[in-house]
Each structure stands twice: as structure tokens, then as C-alpha cells.
Amino acid sequence: MHKERLSNLFETFDPAVKNIILGVLDIEQEHISMEKPRVKEHIDEIISAVAKKEIEKLDEQERP
Amino acid sequence: MKLERITIDNFRQYCGKQRVDFAKDEQKNVTVIHGVNGAGKTSFFLSINWCLYGKSLDNVKVIDNVGELMSKEAVNQAAIGDTIRTSVDLAFLHNGERYLVKRTLQGIKLIDGTVNVEDNDSFTMMRTKADGQAERINNPIGTMNSILPVNVREYFLFDGEKIDNFAKPEAAAQVKQAIYLVLKLEILERARRHLEAVATEYRKELKNKSGQQLRDLLEQEEKARAEIIKAKERIYDLHQEKESAERKIADIDKRLREMENTNILQQQRDRIERELKQRRTEMEDVVAIIRDLATSGYYVVAETAIKKAILLLEEKRARGEIPSDYRQQFIRDLVDKMVCVCGRPFCDGSEEHRTLLAKITHGLPDTLQDEVLNTCAVLQAFEQRTEKHRADVDSAMRRRAELVDIVSSLEAELDDVSRQLKGSPLEVISKLERNRENFHADIQGYILEIGSLHEREIKFVKDIAELKKEIDRARREEKREVLLSTKLDLAQRAADAIADMYQTFADDMRGKIQEKTKEIFKKLVWKESHFQDVKLGPDFNLEVIDRYGYSARPELSAGERQVLSLSFIMAMSRISDEEAPLVMDTPFGRLSSHHRNTIAEQLPILATQLVLFVTDEELRDEARQNLESRIGAEYRLEFSPRTSCTEIVEVR
């Protein structure tokens, strides 16, 4: 599948970055027929969710 | 996407409900729908497009300049005022799930025979999961864009006579657009652009919030705490100095007590100081009492109102209105029994009866009467407390004034003792007293400074409490900043990652399409030895190179251009792995028999599902034979000149 090919393209990147990219690609795909899609809020939601998990992970690592 | 079934109802020349099941078997994946010119092949083809995307989706036109969609015969048959419905249902499989999409347009037949068609059609999408559960999809357009986007559709559902466009010299932009859309380069590019825009917004937001605020507040708190420590240390030192001075005064007092010439005066001073200490303590107690009385005597301010209320109630009592002579219930009982208070019966309208009724009318209800009496008692208690409070305050104030006088008098006595000692003819005595006076002055200075430092300390403690609140606020803000900063980092890295990989991916895709187009073109074209190579350059020009190494595209015949375009479309379909059927309207129109034969042979192999709308002439002889074993379903479109309607007839 072409989607898998795209996913593999970002295999070497940080999983958090990869997850964001794949989430954003799905959003873009859903809005591909629009010339000026309003996707910023959706993208922000994806990034916020990943960022919160990243902060939690760092907090856990810093905990003694 | 694999088409399963279509049901057309009152769409253009298809009057009434008609159904077609598509061939979807792996070996028999071809559906042939044939008919003469004007039989309704293009209308059928349009019905698939209209069902999936409507007349237009967002800015993409799907159906244009084709006249009315509603069946004219259906309109003709309807009575005035009837609702006429045009609908197309399409069932298909995608990623193991079954979808059913339905588009309906309806209108009411008017008196003049025209139809008042509703402005918008309705589009619904249902999905049946593997477990058989069906669900309605809330975002059908987004879902359709994920399955087969409207702008990608034209590379899978196309008019065969127009596909040579890709092979025209001026078609580089169109080729590029096709690759961008089908191979998801467009969504990669959009994702990068939007991530970049989001990162820019985060950066702006982060600039407006500054971690400096928290740092400044923490610095202020540190300074305030340092000031408190400094004040405490100074207070400690001052206490030491004060104690030292007090010890020195005690030593002087001791020496004066021991000296013959001064012992009487010193003893006198000891007594005065003891009394002074006692009086000052008493004065502190009196001041505390006055303070307590001042803060607890809130009811004194209501004194006038209380007095007025008591007067009012007393007047009512004097008039006998409260309390009543009798309880209301008692009078009511007498009236009910028609018996006088003395036990004698009376009759209705008698003097006694009237008197008792008047008492009921003018008297207060029992509960209200109780309330009034209770209020009266409370107000009187307040009046007594007000008088006592005033007396207590007066007494305390008087005592304070007395104590002020006593303290002044004792201080004057102390001054007198000191003056006598300073004026002593004996130098040692006067010197001792002057020293004592200096130490005393020092102690006063220390006390003053300690007081001032205490006030300073209290101020800093208050400042710290306020700073703590602001620091908490800033900390909460900083947490948000940490989140924002993490979001910015992730958004930027995601945008950069796409930018890093984009060109590699685009070049890789372009190379793969070039190879696949060449492979398919060589299979389909009959002059395969003449055409040596197919190139898709970085400028997305689709080029055919002949055996001499020259560009052969300008010399390609219309049929060869069509074959090249078809090769390119097939290559995109193969490379993209897009699970979409190939639906072609009159694909062989311009092709000579050789091309027709090879395409008929190769297409079912290259496409996962093939739907062909053909004329009988297009698909005959060897072409028909080549396709025969792959045909899973076949229909004939029969146009009736009598009704101007087309009937779909199943052939196999």
C-alpha cells in the first residue's frame, strides 16, 4: 500500500514526529478536495496530544 | 475501492429503478456495458460520478453542461404536485469494509409541467463492518476523499477519447498534477506547508509569553527573603546592644544603691520604676479592653432604631393590642360552640357573638403574636446591652486618663531623681548618672529601630505572600509555555522531516512511474522496437525516445498518444497501489485494431477491476476474444425510441 510506503518514509524519525506526520497526512487526505482547507485546528489537536505525551514521558524519566 | 453494484433510479434516460452488478472476481474482473451512440453509456458513466461526488465538490466540477439529471419520462408520468425522485445507489468494498453511498435529488411537478427541484441533493454514506454492523458515516465527503479523492477520480474514471491529453507537449503541468494527487505528493506538500504555518503561529505565541516574568518574580522573592534575614539579624544585634545597655544601667543602679550619698535617691527611683512598670502594664490592659469594646459594640449604632421599635411595641401593648386578652384559638372554639366565656349559650347575631367575631377580626394570629413578643424581648435585651456597653467604655476611658496622669507624674518624679543625681557635687555620681542617661537614650534608640525593623519585616512577609500568588500564576503560565515550546519543536521537526524526505520521495515516485509507463507502453504499442524509451523528466514532461535517441512525441499519432496516456495512467495506478477500479467510457474509439487488441488483452491484467462502456464496433473480433475470458458481467443498453428511455439488459 502506498500509505505504508509513506509511513516507512519517516521510519528513521523520532516516533513522536512520525505520528504527527501520519496524523496530519490523514487530515490532509480528508480535505484534499478543498483549495483552502481549514485544518489548522485539527493539526493543533494532533500536535497537542503528542506534545502532552512527550512532556509526561520526560516527567516520568526525571522522577527519582 | 471495488465496485459491487449500482442502482439507478430516474436518472436521465434511465426511467424507473435499474440495477447492475459489477464483475469483481480476480480472474473475471471486467464488466462490459455496450450500446450504440446515444444509448446512454455516458449517462451511466455520469451516474457513477454524480453518485460519488455530486455535480461538484468544493471547487472541483464533476458534471458540467449535461442538462437535466432527472428523468424526463419520470417527470412526464408524474401527476401535478407529485414528488419525483432521482437517485443513484452505489455499493463498493474498500479495505475489507462494505460501503453504500446514495445520492438523491427530488422535486415537485408544477402546474406548467416543469419541476421545482430542491437546491441541494442529499448524500448519505453507510459502512458495514466485517461483523455485519452498519453505521452511518458522519463525514462522507472526508471519507470519500480518503477512498478516492474527487480530484484523483479523473485518473480512474475517465473518458477514453480525452485521455491522450497527458501525452500532449503542453501537458507537463497536468502530468505533474496527476502524479502529485495520485501519489500523495500533494498531501505531503500541504502537510509540510500547514505544519510550517502552525509552527510559525506557535513561535509568535511563545514570543509574547516570556519566561523572564517568572525569573523576575523569583528574583524579587529572593530579595525580599534576603531583606527579612537582614532585618532579623539586625534585630538580634539590637537586642544584644539593648541588653548590654540594660546591664550597664543595672550596674550603675547597683553602684548608686551602694553609695552612701545616693542610695536613698536610687531606692526612690527603684520604687518609682516598679510602680511605673506596673501602671504601664495596667494601661496596656485598659487599652486592650477599650479596643475590644470598640470592635464588639456594633449594636450601639442601631440604638436609635432599637429604641424606636421598643416604643412602638410598648404603645401597642399599652393599647392592649399585644398580647391579646385571649388566644385566638380559644375565641374560635367559643364561636364554634356558640357558648359565651361564662358558659352561657348565645345565638347567632347576638351581642356576645358580635363581640367574639370582632376579637377574631382585629386580633393578631397566634403565631404572629408569639413572634412580636419574642422580638420585643430581644430588642429590650439589646437596649440593656447598649447601656452596659456605654458604661463599660466610659469607665475604661476614665481609667486610661487616670493612668496617663499617674504615668506622667511618675516619669516627672524619675526626671527629678535623675536631675538631682546629675547635679551632685561629686563628679563620680554625676558622671554615673550621665552615663546612665546615655545608655537609656541608646535603649530608646534600639527600641525604635527594632520597631521599625519589625514593620519592615511584616511588609516583606506580605510582599512575599503576594509574590507567591504571582509566582504560582507565572508557573502555571510557564507550564503552558513548556507545552507550547514542545509543540513548536514537534511541529517544526515534522515540517522539516517532510521537507527532507519530500524530494527523495518525489524523485523515487517519478522514477518508478517512468519505468512502469515504459514497461506498459512497450507492451501496448505495436512499434515497440521503434520506441526505445519513455522518460519522465524532473520537469514532468512525458517523453518518448525513438531508436535514434530523438524525442518522438511530436510525431506520435492520436492513437499512440492515447496509448501513451493510458500507459501513464496505468503506471500511476500500479505505483500508487490505489485500490480503485478503472472505469472507461469509449476507450477504444480512436484506436486501430492492433492497439485495441493488445489493450483489451493487457488492461484486465493491469487493473484490479475494469468497467468498459463501449460501442459494439469498439469491441469486436480479436479485441473481444482477448477480453472474453476476463468478462464477469455484461450488459446491453437498449434505447426505446417510443419512450426515449434506456433499459439495461443483462447479457451475462
What separation in angstroms does the CA of B450 have from each of A64, B228, B439, B588? 45, 13, 16, 107
Q: Are residues B17 and B40 in the same domain?
A: yes
Give the SS3 label for residue B275: helix
Cβ B47 vs Cβ B33: under 8 Å:
no
B199 touches chain A (CB under 8 A): no
Measured CA to CA, the distance from residue B518 to residue B512 in angstroms comes to 10
Q: Do B142 and A31 touch (CB under 8 A)?
A: yes
- What is the pLDDT at residue B323? 63
Query: Which residues numbered 538-577 in B keep a CB inside 8 Å of some CB on A?
Result: 575-577
DSSP notation for B99-154: EEEEEEEEEEE-TTS-EEE-SS-EEEEEEE-TTS-EEE-S-HHHHHHHHS-HHHHT
Cβ B415 vs Cβ B427: under 8 Å:
no
- How many domains, chain B? 4
The minimal CB distance from B494 to the residues A24, A30, A37 is found for A24
A45 touches chain B (CB under 8 A): no
Q: Are residues B208 and B242 in the same domain?
A: no
Residue B473's domain comprises: 202-213+467-502
Q: Are residues B286 and B416 in the same domain?
A: yes
Measured CA to CA, the distance from residue B25 to residue B32 in angstroms comes to 14
How many other C-beta atoms can be found within 10 angstroms of the C-beta atom of residue B551? 13
Q: Which of A49, A50, A43, A18 lies closest to B191 in space, CA to CA?
A: A43
CB under 8 Å, gap of 24 or more: what pairs does B297-300 form?
Answer: B297/B389, B297/B393, B299/B382, B299/B385, B299/B386, B299/B389, B300/B386, B300/B389, B300/B390
Q: What is the CA radius of gyration of chain B?
A: 54
Q: Are residues B348 and B367 in the same domain?
A: no
Beta bridge partners of B94: B97
Contact list in A for residue B198 (CB cut-off 8 A) is: 40, 43-44, 47
Q: Do A21 and B494 touch (CB under 8 A)?
A: yes
The residue of chain A nearest to residue B150, with distances taken between CA atoms, is A33
**Could you read off the pLDDT of A2-60 as tens digits, one per residue?**
677 888 889 999 999 999 999 999 999 888 888 788 999 999 999 999 999 999 888 88
**Residue-level length of chain B:** 652
B123 touches chain A (CB under 8 A): no
The minimal CB distance from A17 to the residues B142, B201, B493 is found for B493
Last residue of some domain: B480, B502, B524?
B502
Contacts of B652 (CB under 8 A, 6+ apart): B631, B633, B634
| Inside any domain, residue B177 | no
Q: Which of A19, A38, A47 to probe the B interface (max B CBs under 10 A)?
A: A47
Cβ A43 vs Cβ B195: under 8 Å:
yes
Last residue of some domain: B449, B475, B502?
B502
- What is the pLDDT at residue B319? 74
Cβ B146 vs Cβ A29: under 8 Å:
yes
| Residue B624: all three cell numbers together | 473481444
**Could you read off the pLDDT of B206-230 as tens digits, one per residue?**
877 767 777 888 889 889 989 999 9
| Inside any domain, residue B528 | no
Q: Are residues B93 and B52 in the same domain?
A: yes
Last residue of some domain: B362, B389, B423?
B362
Cβ A13 vs Cβ B483: under 8 Å:
no
Q: Do B577 and A1 touch (CB under 8 A)?
A: yes
What separation in angstroms does the CA of B236 have from each of B226, B231, B448? 15, 9, 14
Contacts of B274 (CB under 8 A, 6+ apart): none
Contacts of B209 (CB under 8 A, 6+ apart): B477, B480, B481, B484
User: pTM, whole model, 2 decimals?
Assistant: 0.60
- What is the pLDDT at residue B169? 66
Q: Are residues B374 and B448 in the same domain?
A: yes
- What is the pLDDT at residue B94? 87
> What CATH number is associated with residue B279?
1.10.287
* Chain A nearest C-alpha distance from B186 (Å): 8
Q: What is the dihedral of CA B471, B473, B475, B477, to 10 degrees?
A: -140
| Inside any domain, residue B649 | yes
| Inside any domain, residue B129 | yes
| Inside any domain, residue B535 | no
| Inside any domain, residue B390 | yes
Q: Which of B75, B77, B69 lies closest to B44 in space, CA to CA?
A: B69
* Chain A nearest C-alpha distance from B471 (Å): 21
Instruction: Compute CA B96 distance to the chain's CA centroid, rounded to the nearest angstrom.
Output: 35
Within chain B, which residues score under 70 in pLDDT?
65-66, 130, 169, 210, 320-326, 363-366, 577-578
Q: Do A2 and B482 touch (CB under 8 A)?
A: no
Q: Are residues B243 and B375 in the same domain?
A: yes
Q: Are residues B490 and B432 in the same domain?
A: no
| Inside any domain, residue B3 | yes
What separation in angstroms does the CA of B595 have from each of A58, B193, B338, B499? 64, 43, 125, 42
Q: Are residues B376 and B350 in the same domain?
A: no
> What CATH number is associated with residue B83?
3.40.50.300
Q: Are residues B357 and B371 in the same domain?
A: no
Q: Which of B2, B23, B73 lies closest to B43 in space, CA to CA?
A: B73
| Inside any domain, residue B240 | yes
- What is the pLDDT at residue B565? 86
Q: Are residues B445 and B588 in the same domain?
A: no
Beta bridge partners of B33: B613, B635
Q: Are residues B370 and B428 in the same domain?
A: yes
- What is the pLDDT at residue A64? 67
Measured CA to CA, the distance from residue B336 to residue B343 in angstroms comes to 13
Please say whether the dihedral angle defined by the alpha carbons of residues B164, B168, B170 and B171, taken in this order, is positive or negative: positive
